[in-house]
Structure 1
């Protein structure tokens, strides 16, 4: 985990690895909290988007092999209200949603996570605190809901070197400028691989 100082005192941008994200998932207090961590870190949802999601927003693609998660009102920088988008929904997270819906008897039109944006942020902070206590890694105490989204973006852009336009579409970023900060911090593994592929190692 790498911490990057921000202009605000005692606030950091956290650059997690997938194994650190898994640690957060493992210490979630319950299935709802686990799903919140998964939706942020694996699907790239913002804290205010998570409470919007209902089971009806899960869609199978025409090929029957993939899923999308309709975000009714994503972030809109134009001032015209939230813009809908179709986030890519990994099969395992679709399974998490389905199991949670069944276990909690949630109707198709009911929110999966019946919390406010603040409630979602609090779940992430509590889970991060638990991760710090269980792992002894105090850096977890600085993890926020946006850091989950940062992990999502970095996984796609840096770790997997995915086409930025695809990442913009599924993550709800309007411009290359908006996703550029996620390109600044390659993991040590990505650096090593780049040099190996360039035969400069």
Structure 2
């Protein structure tokens, strides 16, 4: 876990490692929470976008599985990759409902409820892991984690901008790609014998 102070507010920005994202998903109390956390940390959706996802928004394209964000920030449309296991969970919920697939996957409709889900999970993880850093985790940090993981995997920054719905590279670099992942730090340390 990487932590950095916010520039103009209390608290910290948080970037989770892959294993920490897995711990967050594992501690979720049900399938809906697992989906919500995954849409943030694995597809880079904003809180409101997470709440709006319906089964019909998850489609398999020539590029692979994507989640369609019909009205993202500024009412802009975009498609962003979604892991196939997460896509299948969402598809299964749609099949179980036997409906048109246009109803949101999550039974909650407010960002406050989503924040509460994350608050419960982070408090459990802080106790379980004896790691105070979990207490700073926000839903926006899930998006931050996703963007940094893509950068660490050397995904073309312009493609990350497109998937994430950012207008310009400067915004992305200022707010999302502000730290190196634990994997990148580990690779750098391995280059130095005495570390």
1:193 to partner: Cα distance:
3.2
1:130 to partner: Cα distance:
1.8
SS at match of 2:154: coil
1:180 to partner: Cα distance:
0.5
1:200 to partner: Cα distance:
7.6
1:138 aligns with 2:132: yes
Cα gap change, 1:56 to 1:189, in 2 (>3 Å): closer
1:129 aligns with 2:123: yes
1:171 aligned to 122, 141, 164, which one? 164
1:103 to partner: Cα distance:
4.8
Cα gap change, 1:29 to 1:188, in 2 (>3 Å): closer
1:90 aligns with 2:104: no
Contact 1:32 1:100 (8 Å CA) reproduced:
no
Q: Scaled by the length of structure 2, what TM-score is found?
A: 0.88
**Aligned pairs for 1:10-159 within 5 A:** 11-61=11-61, 63=62, 66-76=64-74, 82-103=75-96, 107-114=100-107, 115-157=109-151, 159=152
Cα distance in structure 2, aligned partners of 1:140 and 1:42: 18
The Cα offsets for residues 148-172 of structure 1, whole Å up to 9 and x where unpaired, read as: 0011000001x20110111111111
Contact 2:58 2:91 (8 Å CA) reproduced:
no
Larger mean Cα displacement after TM superposition, 102-111 or 91-100? 102-111
The Cα offsets for residues 17-62 of structure 1, whole Å up to 9 and x where unpaired, read as: 111111111110111111100000001000011111111111111x
Residue 9 of structure 2 is matched in structure 1 by: 8
Runs of 4+ in 1 over 6 A off after TM superposition: none
Cα distance in structure 2, aligned partners of 1:70 and 1:33: 20
Count, aligned residues = 190
Structure 2: state its 5+ residue gaps.
none
Cα distance in structure 2, aligned partners of 1:176 and 1:151: 17
SS at match of 1:121: helix
